Amino acid sequence: MELKFVKYNPAKNMTILVEDRVAPTDYAALANKLMAEHHVAAEQVGYIETAADNQYKLAMMGGEFCGNASRCMAVYLVESGLRPLGQWFAILVSGIDHPVSCIVERQIDQTTYWAAIEMPLPVAVGSLQISQSMRVDYVVFEGITHFIVDADGGERAEIIDLIRQSKEAVDSLAFGVMFYDAERQFMTPYVFVKQTNTGFWESSCASGTSALAAVLAVDNALTELLKIDQPGGVLAVAAEVDDGKLSRIVLSGEVSLVARGTAYIR
């Protein structure tokens, strides 16, 4: 099988977008092959679909929602001449039932853009006791649930295993564990996608960064622009609160084109 693809780097959360139409039942299996180190190699795969009324949809490999992949999709549409530079436009994304707004604001060089997305608002924000000694915040989005954990809270593999058994993680298409060092404003993201049965220590995570901003805004009334450093680079995020409720989350950062070509699947 031959598949046309583009590969993007949004803060090193390496993302493959497949241009050719593929049966949705094959999404997970093909993604696992494409993501392999001996193949195209990436942390996630999305599939470009067309919808009615000249709409475009990004279908992620496990049906989840991904903010970084959505920003890649926005850059793809601008590069392809399908959407304008410097104007907000809507795209459809798996994992949520309404369009999201994106803007590709400027070209930094011939292959690098600055892209922003108005992230979906959380369905719920709460806290969870995962052990006798540890309580964590969680943020439920449509399509993914994120848990915010103190970076120095204990053995990370054990924390992930405890969270994986929680109802909040079990009920979601995907879950993330964001290990956050508040003093350094540094976050290490782990994301597990059920459909592909894959867990990654990601280089950056857009929805996880938005979850952190949501928790800080709700718990600490912290709504100024945050620049959250992650293993792959910095993502900027700002949350707005009206009458004590989250009203908007905007996330932005660089997206660069890494490769474009044909992948051969055996």
Domain range annotation of the chain: 2-119+254-264, 124-252
CATH topology of domain 2-119+254-264: Diaminopimelate Epimerase; Chain A, domain 1 (3.10.310)
Q: Is residue 210 within 8 Å of residue 179, measured between CB atoms?
A: no
Q: Is residue 130 within 8 Å of residue 136, measured between CB atoms?
A: yes
Class of the domain covering 124-252: alpha beta
Q: What is the mean pLDDT of residues 201-211?
A: 94
Q: What is the mean pLDDT of residues 195-208?
A: 92
Q: 218 falls in which pLDDT band (50, 70, 90)?
A: confident
Residue 195 CB coordination number (10 Å): 15
Q: 180 falls in which pLDDT band (50, 70, 90)?
A: very high
Per the prediction, the chain carries an average pLDDT of: 93
72 is catalytic: no
Q: What is the pLDDT of residue 222?
A: 62
Q: 223 falls in which pLDDT band (50, 70, 90)?
A: low
Q: Which of 115, 205, 211, 246 is catalytic?
A: 205
Q: Which of 11, 17, 35, 66 is catalytic?
A: 66
Segment 67-120, tens digit of pLDDT:
999 999 999 999 999 999 999 999 999 989 899 999 999 889 999 999 999 999
Do the two domains 2-119+254-264 and 124-252 of this chain adopt the same fold?
yes
User: Which pair of tokens denotes residue 55?
Assistant: 């709409």
Q: What is the mean pLDDT of residues 146-157?
A: 93
User: Which pair of tokens denotes residue 44?
Assistant: 């996630």
List Cα–Cα distances, 45 to 13, 65, 128, 130, in angstroms.
11, 11, 30, 31
List Cα–Cα distances, 43 to 129, 137, 224, 255, in angstroms.
30, 25, 30, 15
Q: What is the pLDDT of residue 221?
A: 62
User: Please, which residues bridge with residue 113 across strands?
Assistant: 107, 255
List Cα–Cα distances, 256 to 51, 74, 78, 152, 253, in angstroms.
26, 12, 13, 32, 10
Residue percentage of the chain with pLDDT more than 90: 79
Q: What is the pLDDT of residue 133?
A: 86
Does the pTM exceed 0.75?
yes
Which has the minimum average pLDDT: 34-38, 51-55, 68-72, 159-163?
A: 51-55
66 is catalytic: yes
Q: What is the pLDDT of residue 122?
A: 93
